[in-house]
């Protein structure tokens, strides 16, 4: 039990029996239409963990996260990707004090992150206002911006030439795992300088194929004389830019990221979209600098909780490799 502004609350872990309460708060806060299948995908099949704050039987605040294996300079770590940070509208007025937002966040971080805990570190994608608040409260570090990059579909589009093939890769293809594994193996060889989430077949299946409320598709980039693809692009519907196709992820050699961008832009044109959009950390944006980006803006900022098993100096020197698919909500 704890008291905030004269009201008594219960702070505890969220479990499967809290599904209805979590869905109700999610719909109120985000205007979403998530259902029990989404909850199962994230908090059961995905191993998600969360802390909630209750006023009687009503959930008024929530902070969750899903496990993600991340290679920090080539070394694998079990991290927690923060998401579903929610406060009921009637309690947002106490955000600047140690109110509901602080208590659910602090409890999740302190109980899960750090030495001898379940997770090495955590990261999330709050907006600038919410991260400033978390920094002011001593909960998180600011690890820099994540940009939204867009390419307009007007004008002449780049052409990859005869030596490249773009083909749909169905998740039920008998060689889906083998082809993704081949692409990820090439990408992993270049992961040593970055903090990069693992993009193996198991992850792609859970993140994109199993998600019940979104429809994504995989497109493989292949040479005509090779059976296995050089890489795999993940495409899906967009949230923030109507009529722009969302480019979620790339699995493959980093040097081929501009070619993957060309492929994704052509797929956007074929689908009748007005253009292409993605999210990019600075490391990704640098690789896309010469691809004809027509618009860019800050989409989110990367927050790293201070309870993580890293110093502030170590956090500031991490070079994150992040795209739209590294979020849990796009």
Question: pLDDT at position 239, please?
Answer: 59
Mean pLDDT calculated for residue range 246-265? 97
Whether residue 91 is found in the same domain as residue 215: no
| pLDDT above 70 (res 12) | yes
| pLDDT above 80 (res 5) | no
Question: pLDDT at position 241, please?
Answer: 63
- What are the structure tokens assigned to 174, written together? 């008998």
Mean pLDDT calculated for residue range 259-273? 93
Whether residue 111 is found in the same domain as residue 159: no
- Express each pLDDT in 41-85 by its tens digit: 999 999 999 999 999 999 999 999 999 999 999 999 999 999 999
> Does the residue 269 lie in any domain?
yes
* Final residue belonging to a domain, choices 123, 140, 160: 123
* Confidence grade of residue 1 (pLDDT, cut at 50, 70, 90): confident
* Confidence grade of residue 2 (pLDDT, cut at 50, 70, 90): confident
| pLDDT above 60 (res 14) | yes
* Confidence grade of residue 9 (pLDDT, cut at 50, 70, 90): very high
Q: Which of 126-140, 178-192, 202-216, 239-253 has the lowest mean pLDDT?
A: 239-253
> Does the residue 174 lie in any domain?
yes
| pLDDT above 60 (res 96) | no
Domain coverage including residue 32: 2-123
> Does the residue 138 lie in any domain?
no
Return the number of other C-beta atoms located less than 10 Å from residue 28's C-beta: 14
Question: pLDDT at position 237, please?
Answer: 83
- Express each pLDDT in 142-177 by its tens digit: 999 999 999 998 777 888 888 999 999 999 999 999
Q: Which of 154-158, 225-229, 304-308, 321-325 has the lowest mean pLDDT?
A: 154-158
Whether residue 183 is found in the same domain as residue 253: yes
Mean pLDDT calculated for residue range 288-308? 97
Question: pLDDT at position 17, please?
Answer: 96
> Does the residue 249 lie in any domain?
yes
If one counts the domains in the chain, the total is 2
CATH of the domain at 16: 3.40.630.30
| pLDDT above 90 (res 296) | yes
Whether residue 153 is found in the same domain as residue 115: no
Whether residue 76 is found in the same domain as residue 214: no
> Does the residue 141 lie in any domain?
no
> Does the residue 102 lie in any domain?
yes
> Does the residue 322 lie in any domain?
no
What's the pTM? Answer: 0.95
């Amino acid at each position: 039990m704890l008291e905030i502004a004269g009201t008594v609350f219960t702070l505890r872990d969220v479990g499967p029996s809290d599904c209805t309460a979590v869905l109700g708060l999610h719909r109120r806060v985000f205007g979403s239409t998530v259902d029990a299948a989404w909850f199962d995908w994230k908090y059961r099949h995905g191993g998600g963990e969360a802390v909630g704050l209750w006023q009687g039987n009503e959930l008024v605040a929530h902070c969750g996260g899903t496990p993600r294996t991340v290679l920090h300079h080539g070394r694998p770590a079990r991290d927690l990707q923060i998401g579903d940070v929610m406060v009921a509208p009637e309690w947002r007025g106490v955000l600047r004090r140690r109110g509901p937002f602080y208590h659910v966040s602090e409890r999740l971080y302190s109980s899960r992150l750090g030495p001898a805990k379940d997770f090495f570190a955590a990261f999330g994608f709050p907006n600038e206002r919410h991260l400033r608040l978390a920094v002011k409260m001593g909960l998180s570090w600011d690890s820099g911006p994540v940009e939204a990059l867009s390419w307009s579909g007007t004008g002449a589009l780049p052409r990859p030439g005869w030596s490249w093939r773009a083909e749909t890769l169905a998740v039920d293809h008998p060689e889906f795992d083998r082809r993704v594994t081949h692409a990820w193996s090439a990408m992993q060889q270049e992961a040593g300088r970055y903090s990069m989430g693992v993009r193996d077949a198991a992850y792609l299946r859970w993140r994109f194929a199993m998600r019940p409320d979104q429809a994504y598709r995989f497109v493989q980039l292949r040479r005509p004389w090779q059976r296995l693809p050089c890489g795999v692009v993940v495409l899906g519907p967009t949230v923030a830019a109507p009529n722009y196709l969302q480019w979620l992820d790339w699995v493959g050699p980093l040097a081929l990221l501009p070619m993957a961008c060309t492929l994704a832009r052509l797929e956007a044109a074929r689908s009748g979209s007005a253009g292409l959009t993605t999210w990019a950390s600075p490391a990704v944006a640098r690789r896309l600098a010469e691809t004809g980006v027509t618009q860019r803006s800050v989409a989110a900022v990367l927050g790293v909780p201070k309870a993580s098993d890293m110093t502030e100096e170590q956090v500031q020197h991490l070079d994150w490799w992040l795209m739209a698919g590294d979020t849990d909500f796009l």
